Copies of this chain bind each other. A is one copy, B any other.
Amino acid sequence: MQKGLTKIQQDILDYVIELRSKSLIPTLAEIAKHFGYKNRSTVQQHLQSIEKKGFIKRNPKISGGIELTFDNNYFIPRPVLGEVAAGNPLTIYPDSIDTVDLPTIAHVPNDSFLLKVKGDSLKDAYIFTGDIVIVNPNLQAENGQFVVAVLDNEAVVKRLVKKKDVIELHSENPEYEPIIIESTHPNFQLVGVVIGVYRTMAKKVG
């Protein structure tokens, strides 16, 4: 239980957080129904109490629901848009999510998106097959950063090394040679900068 919140207030806050993690914004009536209240105003007053205690703030009337701005912003759910190759470039399959959604990136500025990694060329950076990289398409890619790039219709994640006249895409695995991009390369496009890695833990019995 959080300091200062009563159990019921905490329950309501938890419920709102839970729904938000599913990309849903509950209304007062929905919260009331879930907790068995006959009236919305009960929830309303609880939310006012929670707000008064400083645990949330409310942006009035956004999207018709309740906009909660938490003091402590952790993560909000984001869509996984596709897969990228860490080793040999991954061919984008025409009917998979990749093809559809990689161009969609241009339409989704302002926040990051997620891509699933295949291949082991980044294993020395502790990025493995199945990992999910968080990519920000709006950041300026700096030397040494991991980036996602499209090369001849193939999406790859590599470390960016800028040199005089060329751009090199390095693996973190000595088995792979760097990819050298001449500035005149027609089908090269930087998609974004890798700002994080997420990995689901495999069950490992031992």
Contact = CB atoms under 8 A, between A and B. Distances in A.
Given A2-B100, A143-B205, A75 B85 contact: no
Contact of A203 (B56, B68, B111, B142): B142
A201 B195 contact: yes
Given A17-B109, A63-B24, A196-B200, A1 B104 contact: yes
A20 to B, nearest CB: 6
Interface stretch (A25-33, A39-47, A183-191): A25-33
A88 B3 contact: yes
A77 interface: yes
A163 to B, nearest CB: 12
A87 B68 CA distance: 12
A196 to B, nearest CB: 5
A77 B23 contact: yes
A204 B84 contact: no
A76 B78 CA distance: 9
A192 interface: no
Contacts of A79: 17, 20-22, 74-78
A85 B17 contact: yes
A64 interface: yes
Contacts of A78: 21-23, 77, 79-80
Interface of A: 1-3, 10, 13-15, 17-18, 20-27, 30, 54-56, 62-65, 68, 70-89, 97, 100-101, 104, 106-111, 113-114, 126, 132, 142-146, 159, 161, 194-201, 203-206
